Amino acid sequence: MNVMIMKCKLAHLLVFLSLCTPFLMADNVTLEAESKDSKEVHVTYDKLVEELKHVHRLKSILNLLTWDERVNMPDQSADFRALQQGTLARLVYREFTKQEIGGYLNVLESNGDQLSSAQRALIRETRRKYDRKKSLSEEFVARKKEMESKGYQAWKKARDENDFMLFAPVLEEILVMAREEAGHVGYADDPYAYWVDRYDPGFSVKDIDQYFGELKSGIAPIVAQIQASSVKPSRDILKGFSVKKQKVFITEVISRIGFDFEQGRLDKTIHPFCGGSSEDCRITVNYAKDAPLFSVFGGLHEAGHGLYEQGQPEQYLGTPLGEALVMAMHESQSRLWENQIGHSRVFWEYWEGEYRRLFYRQLRDISSEDFYRAINAVEVNPVRVQSDEVTYNLHVILRYELEKKLLDGSLQVRDLPVAWNKLSEELLGYTPKNDMEGVLQDVHWSIGAFGYFPSYALGNMIAAQLWAQLRQDIPNVDEEIALGNFAPVLVWLRENIHQYGKQYSTKELVKMATGKEMSSQYFLEYLSERYLPLYVGDGEEG
């Protein structure tokens, strides 16, 4: 499908060749010397699954340490926590890369014809990860970990002092290392392709170039119409919402949409996230008294991630078949609940009464229409995470264009702030006032996470495409949502997405679920249908 898969096949072939006696043909993978009887193959498969579940348990503990770090840990215990995490991370690495797992994979790959397609998918995904982990030495992994920490600290300092040049030399080092990693994994010639594949296997730079080109030209006229409109809704009308009641509300909401509190929790952190594991899923939100929508949509967003985790098939938990697809598909799940559903009229048709009951005084002078417009206010914001969904993808495209050039060397780090500001003006019509508002706003590059930004925009595209299909498959979905019945939506997602774990790639699964190739068209249609009626006012919107 792409270079990574080819590389896996190649690696597999080489392993196979090195095991074969000379007279064997390389492309015949079920030869005498390697073929096993069915029982033996299935015993090996079960052993592999046991090993994977063992590693999964350790990894889920690591996730819990991270959750606890952000939710509960006392301040002064941070150093010790880092030691605990380092120790456990090394064990996870060691347990996953041990010889036995490689051995099982070899046997199973040579006897793939005796396995189901789901089982072969499990082996394919395990091999992909195994080869990647093995290709990075423990020494490199440790060095990378240190660099992440160094990068994060330098970024924070630069932010505090609003001076990109304090971060620049470290970013140079981070880039060298990012290219080195790509080289280890076989992408020396095209490091950015590795990073895209790293976070979203199956997508190529060419794919993304195409999608983002379409988004860019499609979003521009929508933004132009909104900006030309005399309608200027604002979120500032919502003030003084008690945090305690905000929590009551979002707990009710995510419980109603299906988040299982018997295997999950909701807590508070400054930066919301979804952590833990499918078996014990822990989401967090933040609350601001004068920005109450933050907890509503943050909660829906994280609950969307949580529902995907909780929807993984139980019998496969701990294996790739019981593991959600990263990153674009995961983001599509959170965005679908946050945006397609949470920002809709029918959603608020059901919830507005309860919201007004909890916040009577805060809302009594605000009409339903003004409230709904506040929710869907569109305004260019210099900061990505504070953007509405109309302009959000432009922020992503900006980062994508720049990181691609940073990786291939056609953009120098020292020139980054100027390039950022120029592109910001071009895409958003806004020139950041300083580095903090511009090039220093996101943490990602400081911890070496290149190729991560595109996933956000891909997720938005997928959410819109799935939503379009879901509305066709469930013609009365609006009526159901307006009645507070979210089960049909969740059932559709469970059946079409969640149940498959990593059995298919993101692109394959989108095609299976919608019958169409992935396309930016659905997202652009969705934006027009949702926002233009509000701003341009030509008719009723959905």
Site residues (vs a second copy, CB under 8 A): 54, 57-58, 60-61, 64-65, 68, 72-77, 80-81, 83-84, 87-88, 91, 260-265, 277, 279-280
Q: Whole-angstrom Cα distance, residue 148 to residue 34?
A: 43
The DSSP bridge partners found for residue 283 are: 266, 274
Look up residue 259 and give its DSSP letter: -
Of 2 and 277, CB closest to a second copy? 277
> Measured from the CB of residue 20, what is the shortest distance to a second copy in angstroms?
35
Closest distance of CB 391 from a second copy, Å: 37
Closest distance to a second copy from the beta carbon of 61 (Å): 5
Check if 302 is active-site. Answer: yes
3-state DSSP assignment of residue 538: coil
With respect to a second copy, which residue has the nearer C-beta, 21 or 315? Answer: 315
Annotated catalytic residue: which of 125, 302, 309, 338? 302
Place of tokens 């949470």: 342
Cα separation values, 423 from 103, 219, 295, 430, Å: 50, 15, 31, 9
d(CA 255, CA 264): 10
Which of residues 78 and 165 has its CB atom nearest to a second copy in the complex? 78
328 neighbors 455 (Cβ within 8 angstroms): yes
Strands in 274-277's sheet, in edge-to-edge order, are: 264-268, 280-285, 274-277
Judged by CB, which is closer to a second copy: 68, or 473?
Answer: 68
Cβ at position 314, least distance to a second copy in Å? 11
Query: Considering the complex, what minimum distance in angstroms separates the CB of residue 81 from a second copy?
Result: 7
- Shortest distance in whole angstroms from residue 283 CB to a second copy: 12
Smallest separation (angstroms) from a second copy to the CB of 307: 15
Name the residue nearer to a second copy (CB basis): 262 or 540: 262
- Residues 6 or more apart whose CB falls under 8 angstroms from that of 161 comprise none
Contacts 24+ apart (CB under 8 A), 172-181: 172/413, 173/147, 174/147, 174/445, 174/446, 174/448, 175/406, 175/407, 175/413, 177/143, 177/144, 177/147, 177/448, 178/407, 178/448, 178/450, 179/407, 180/140, 181/136, 181/140, 181/144
Q: Is the Cβ of residue 74 or residue 515 nearer to a second copy in the bound state?
A: 74
Cβ contacts of 514 within 8 Å, gap of 6 or more: 465, 466, 468, 469
The C-alpha atoms of residue 427 and residue 217 are separated, in whole angstroms, by 10
Pick 75 or 139: Cβ nearer a second copy: 75
CB 136 within 8 A of CB 96: no
Question: How distant is the alpha carbon of residue 299 from its chain centre?
Answer: 16
Sign of CA dihedral 431, 432, 434, 440: negative
CB of 127 to a second copy, least distance (A): 23
Helix, strand, coil shares of the chain, percent, nearest 5, are 70, 5, 30
Length of the chain in terms of residues written = 542
Work out how close the CB of 154 gets to a second copy at its nearest, in angstroms, rounded to a whole number. 26
Nearer to a second copy, 250 or 416 (CB): 250
**DSSP output for 188-249:** TT-HHHHHHHHHSTT--HHHHHHHHHHHHHHHHHHHHHHHH-S----GGG-----HHHHHHH
Least Å distance, CB 103 to a second copy, is 20
DSSP element (H, E) containing 129: helix 117-135
**Rounded to whole angstroms, how far apart are CA atoms 541 and 534?**
8
State residue 524 phi and psi, 5-degree precision.
Answer: -65, -40
d(CA 539, CA 156): 48
Contact 380, 428 (CB under 8 A): yes
Of the two residues 281 and 380, which places its CB atom closer to a second copy in the complex?
281
Q: Judged by CB, which is closer to a second copy: 75, or 538? A: 75
- The dihedral sign for the CA sequence 465, 470, 473, 474: negative
Beta 280-285 vs 274-277: how paired, if at all?
antiparallel
What is the set of active-site residues? 302
